[in-house]
Amino acid sequence: MLLIISGLKDSLLQFAGRLPPEWGVFFLSMLPIFELRGGIPVGVHMFHLPLWKVFIFSYIGNLLPVIPILYILKPLSKLGFVRRYLEKTEKRGELVKKYEALGLTMFVAIPLPVTGAWTGSLLAFIFNIPIFKAFLFISIGVFTAGVIVSTLTIMGIAGAVIAGIALFTIIILSFLKNRRLFLLIIPILFMVSGCVRGVKPTKKEITIGKIEFKGNNHIPSGKLLDVMKIKKGDVYNEDAMRYSMKRIVQYYKDKGFWSARIIQRKGNYNPEKREVNFLIVIFEGNRSIITKVEISGNKVFNKEEVQKILGIRIGEPFDAAKIARSEYLLSLKYADMGYIDAVVTVDKKRIGNGVELLFNIKEGKRYFVRKIRIKGLKKVRWKIVRREIVVKEGEIYSPTLAYRSQSRIYSTGLFEYVNFNLKKIGDDSLDVIFTVRELDPRWIGFGIGYESPERLLLDLSWGHNNLMGNMQRIRINSNISWDFLGGSRFSLFLNYEEPYLLGTDIKFLITPSYRYVSEPGFLEKLVTINLETRKYLLENTSASFTLNFRNAYIETTSSVVVNDTLIGSKNTNSVAINLYSDGRDNILNPMKGYYLLLGYEYAGGFLGGYNHFDRITIQMALFFPFPGSSVLALHTMWGFTYPEMPYDSVSIDARYEMGGWRTVRGYEDGSIGFPDYRGKKSGLQLIQMNAELRFRVFKRIYGYLFVDSGNLWMSPDEIKISSLFTGAGFGIGFITPIGPIRLEYARPLTIEGNHKIYLNIGNPF
């Protein structure tokens, strides 16, 4: 077996050696037989990379499999061989079983063959540690292991022991004394190692120390701690403790443990720490199961349809929360069929260790919409609101459609308050009354940004969201940036939107813009006019057709001019077709959802102009929510240009640029790609990938960890994934109504270069 593993390691090392060095380290650190403890020595001694770069790639690579492992283990655990492996793994996790999250951190942090992120993920699943908490503590453990292995790689055993003791002290102190501080040190430890001390309670107060449980065979200790209203570090209060005991017993009863009770609550006072450690002994008893499900009073739906809506099966454990949810879903189903007075109740009958459920349904009468009324309108026309209401007069009333109408009215941006209520008229009809409060349609926006080491950005905008009383919108935006080492940029942008072209549901937009760029040895003046029509195919999906006319005037004194035909005035005329779908829950600060853009652009040909090419664009972002108001944001963009002319003859204004906050952080704007006559770089083929973890630190304060990769090429034949440029970093932000204000630190990983500091409003994607 050892020979097989040794041979496998050799093969994997050979494969990693054929990858770019950074990605070789990343690949090895993902694997369970290497992880970070193997990736760091290989990166330093085999690939001869700087230690800081090796650390970042191995750390992210080691963490990447954790979340998928935690998610897929539940369905896989039903397989026999997986279950047997988990039972075997459980024997290694005494530390995790005893100390839960803190034990998980310590287990992962010890860089031994049987420890690490992979085994830690398995143990987190076995001991029912919540996914977000497991990921957080595994991340800290991997970081600690990385510091120990890095120090061992550079300094030997003595250095590793010193680093391990120091970092363990930081983790344990911050966890025990202040959990908020514990979360805050994560991004700080990413750069430096330091001594973090929590806030000490006053000496006069007695606090709660460790809380342990015994006898809880079915519900993990972590869940019981969440149920309690007290936690470690709180000032001891006997009333709060008794209330927490009642909550634990009630939680057990809600889960079907009717005989559950607390046998003993033992407190052990520590005079040195002035804290009380508690041992809570629980008698769970047997868990009741559902032995019978009966339904009565149903006429609209047959028994099979009701059972499908309820989702409750005979033989499954009793769960009060699931039963209450089933009652709600059935009531909602009736309401959407017009039976808004339908009442669903459930009687529970205990027989031995079983529970019989009887769902009683009083359907009531079916209601139809007689009239739709709108109150509160002043300057906004009635028909603007009426267009957004999907409830129809004369049809069956549906609460789902009413709430959708409320959301659509909000989305117009014309109202600060939208609500609706019902007024019954007769036995089977009702009026739906929408009440609104208008916003001032005029608005002014101001923004400021900074990019180290020398660029300052100012943004000023004005708009009107109801220009002619029919929801026509106009927006004027100007953007100015100064480079203190020489150069400036100015742009002026106007957008006019007609929401219902000729009374149809087709949206029309006209967008003229002007851009002026002055840099040492280079001057550009760009005038653009876009004419766009857009139609929604589904609620979140639209298709658009755009005519684009662009004139670029370019002067240069650079010594790298390669094609004189690119200088002077150049026209580009194009037509574009785009399909766009947006399923984000919040455009400014999404916590879940997606957006997708598929685009095709045809330039030149029968449209005339200087540039002639076809271009395909694919852009997608995914947002995965995690507990604790955290989100994993993934973004990618691919662009492919096929010119009907020499590649290097396509004008600069029609090329992609890369580098900077919205593309690959840590790099200068226009520093990635093929050198052009400006002294910068650009390209016609684009690949960009971004990954960002956004996690809440405290209330509206968020932390960010991110990795960006991308490159530009002139010809499709030149594209190589192995030649991507990568940057990484972290940041902190404050959530505001107009989006997060973010301060970020980033540095390039593929090339040697200085770090970058970014200050911006909003998210990069």
Q: How confident is the model at residue 199 (pLDDT cuts 50, 70, 90)?
A: very low
The pLDDT-based confidence of 307 (bands split at 50, 70, 90) is very high
165 lies in the same domain as 305: no
In a domain, residue 514? The reply is no
Q: How confident is the model at residue 179 (pLDDT cuts 50, 70, 90)?
A: very low
> Does the pLDDT value for residue 253 go beyond 70?
yes
**Are 698 and 738 in a shared domain?**
yes
Q: Say what the pLDDT of residue 110 is.
A: 74
> What pLDDT score was predicted for residue 189?
42
Please report whether residue 461 resides in a domain: no
DSSP 606: G
- Statement to judge: residues 296 and 277 lie in one domain: no
Omega before 716 cis (within 30°)?
A: no
Is 100 contained in some domain? yes
Quick one: pLDDT band at residue 568, thresholds 50, 70, 90? confident
Position 3 scores a pLDDT of 41
Shared-domain flag, residues 115 and 239 = no
> Does 209 or 105 have the greater pLDDT score?
209
Asked if 255 and 343 sit in the same domain, the reply is no
- At residue 173's C-alpha, the angle toward residues 167 and 175, to 5°, is 100
pLDDT at 644 over 70: yes
- Contact between 727 and 664 under an 8 Å Cβ cutoff? The reply is yes
Q: Is residue 627 part of a domain?
A: yes
3-state secondary structure of 523: strand
156 vs 353, higher pLDDT: 353
Beta bridge partners of residue 421, listed in sequence order: 433
Mean pLDDT of 72-86: 62
In a shared domain, residues 164 and 22:
yes
Mean pLDDT in residue range 425-436: 93
Local confidence band at 576 (pLDDT 50, 70, 90 cut-offs): very high
Q: What percent of the chain has pLDDT over 90?
A: 52
* Mean pLDDT on 215-236: 89
State whether 611 and 534 are in the same domain: yes
Same structural domain, 154 and 237: no
Mean pLDDT of 398-413: 91
Cα–Cα distance, 463 to 80 (Å, whole number): 63
Q: Which two tokens stand for residue 283?
A: 């008698």
Give the CATH number of the domain where residue 382 resides: 3.10.20.310
Same domain, 171 and 94: yes
**Dihedral angle, C-alpha 419, 425, 430, 436, nearest 10 °:** -20
pLDDT class of 76 with cuts at 50, 70, 90: low
What is the percent of the chain with per-residue pLDDT over 70, rounded to a whole number?
A: 85
Full-model pTM: 0.60
pLDDT in the model for residue 190: 40
Has residue 111 got a pLDDT over 90?
Answer: no
**What pLDDT is stored for residue 617 in this prediction?**
97
Whether residue 543 is found in the same domain as residue 652: yes
- Could you say which of 237, 264, 283 is where a domain stops? 283
Q: Would strands 289-296 and 354-362 be described as parallel, antiparallel, or unpaired?
A: parallel
Question: Residue 237 CA to chain centroid, in angstroms?
Answer: 38
The answer as to whether 471 is a domain residue is: no
505-516 mean pLDDT: 95
Q: Are residues 278 and 296 in the same domain?
A: no
Report phi then psi at 764, rounded to 5: -65, -20
What's the pLDDT at 36?
85
Number of structural domains in the chain: 5
Cα separation, 527 vs 491, in Å, equals 10
- What is the structure's pLDDT at 155? 65
- Residue 444 belongs to some domain of the structure: no
pLDDT surpasses 70 at 42: yes
Structure tokens at 645: 């002319």
Within this chain, do residues 620 and 743 fall inside the same structural domain, yes or no?
yes
Of 222, 250, 283, at which residue does a domain stop? 283
Coil/strand/helix, residue 66: helix
Of 419, 438, 457, at which residue does a domain stop?
438
Indicate the average pLDDT of the chain. 85
List the domain range (segments joined by +) for residue 329: 289-362
So what's the pLDDT on residue 187? 40
How confident is the model over 591-619, as a mean pLDDT? 96
Domain-located, residue 464: no
**Angle of the 51-63 helix axis to the 131-155 helix axis, nearest 10:** 150
The pairing of beta strand 541-556 with beta strand 568-582: antiparallel
